């Protein structure tokens, strides 16, 4: 398996634009997580899915952020409109059986909002 | 909410010296995981501890889970330049995996 695949690897966008980050989890993994990493706040859990259903979205910063998982092999994290404070590295991770098992991280998307 | 703190925030050692990072949770954890993130990379799973007082070893790395399941430590014996990176603990509680603040390790040859 190729592991968790995220795209794009880097994204530079202007404030106010819509940004969509994409993730393909490892096949057979039932859980998918979206994390955001910044120097100030570290690694924060934004939302996670179990069998394509959002279970906990309490980490989503505000209504500008939304995440979907239309099928077992694809998820998106959308920011609309984007703001400079959204600049961060966004990681997608998947795990086979839940939050108490090993999480496999993708390479991340480095987002810069100017 | 649940908070997981790590100390120190940063440590710079000479190759061959030992290194320890400590992880403390504000709440009792179901289990604790440790991850390593190389500069510019992504977190990679190292190990999971489940039992109170559990100690596990991976070559030069020793992981310990506290008796009260609220703290943990990672000790590296005789560091090497390949150990450079940030080490995160991550605790499970309330159906979430909460990452610690991380300890950045720099090793000089």
B91/A contact by beta carbon, under 8 A: no
Beta bridge partners of B58: B61
Q: B82 φ, ψ to 5°?
A: -70, -10
Kindly state the tokens that stand for A70.
């239309």
Distance from CA of B97 to the nearest CA of A (A): 6
Contacts of B100 in chain A (CB under 8 A): 42
Q: How confident is the model at residue B1 (pLDDT cuts 50, 70, 90)?
A: low
User: Any chain A CB within 8 A of the CB of B82?
Assistant: no
Beta bridge partners of B102: none
- For the stretch B99-108, pLDDT in tens is 999 999 999 9
pLDDT in tens, A68-94: 999 999 999 999 999 999 999 999 999
DSSP letter string over B12-58? EEETT--EEEEEEESS--SEEEEEEE-TTS--EEEEEE-STT-EEEE
- Summarised one tens digit per residue, pLDDT across range A18-41 is 999 999 999 999 999 999 999 988
Instruction: Give pLDDT, residue B95.
Output: 77
| Chain A residues in contact with B30 (beta carbon < 8 A) | 100
**Token reading at A3:** 């592991």
Minimal CA–CA distance to A110: which of A87, A80, A82, A83?
A: A87
For residue B38, how many C-alpha atoms fall within 13 Å in the half-sphere facing its CB? 6
Span between the terminal Cα atoms of chain B, in Å:
41
For residues B40 and A95, give the distance between their C-alpha atoms in angstroms, rounded to a whole number.
22
Q: Is the pLDDT of residue B86 over 80?
A: yes
Give residue B59's pLDDT band: very low, low, confident or very high (50, 70, 90).
Answer: very high
Q: Are B55 and B34 in contact (CB under 8 A)?
A: no
């Amino acid at each position: 398996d190729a592991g968790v695949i995220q795209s794009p690897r880097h994204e530079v966008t202007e404030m106010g634009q819509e940004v969509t980050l994409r993730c393909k989890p490892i096949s057979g993994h039932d859980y998918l997580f979206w994390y955001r990493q910044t120097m100030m706040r570290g690694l924060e859990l934004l939302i996670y899915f179990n069998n394509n259903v959002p279970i906990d979205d309490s980490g989503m910063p505000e209504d500008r952020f939304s995440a979907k998982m239309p099928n077992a092999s694809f998820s998106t994290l959308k920011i609309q409109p984007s703001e400079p404070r959204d600049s961060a590295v966004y990681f997608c991770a998947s795990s086979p059986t839940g939050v108490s098992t090993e999480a496999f991280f993708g390479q991340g998307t480095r987002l810069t909002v100017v | 909410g649940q908070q997981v703190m790590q100390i120190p925030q940063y440590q710079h050692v000479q190759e061959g010296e030992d290194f320890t990072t400590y992880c403390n949770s504000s709440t009792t954890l179901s289990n604790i995981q440790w991850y390593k993130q190389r500069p510019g990379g992504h977190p990679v799973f190292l190990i999971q501890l489940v039992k109170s007082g559990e100690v596990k070893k991976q070559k030069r790395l020793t992981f310990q889970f506290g008796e009260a399941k609220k703290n943990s430590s990672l000790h590296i014996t005789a560091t090497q330049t390949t150990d450079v990176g940030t080490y995160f603990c991550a605790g499970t509680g309330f159906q979430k995996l909460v990452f610690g603040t991380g300890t950045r390790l720099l090793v000089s040859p």
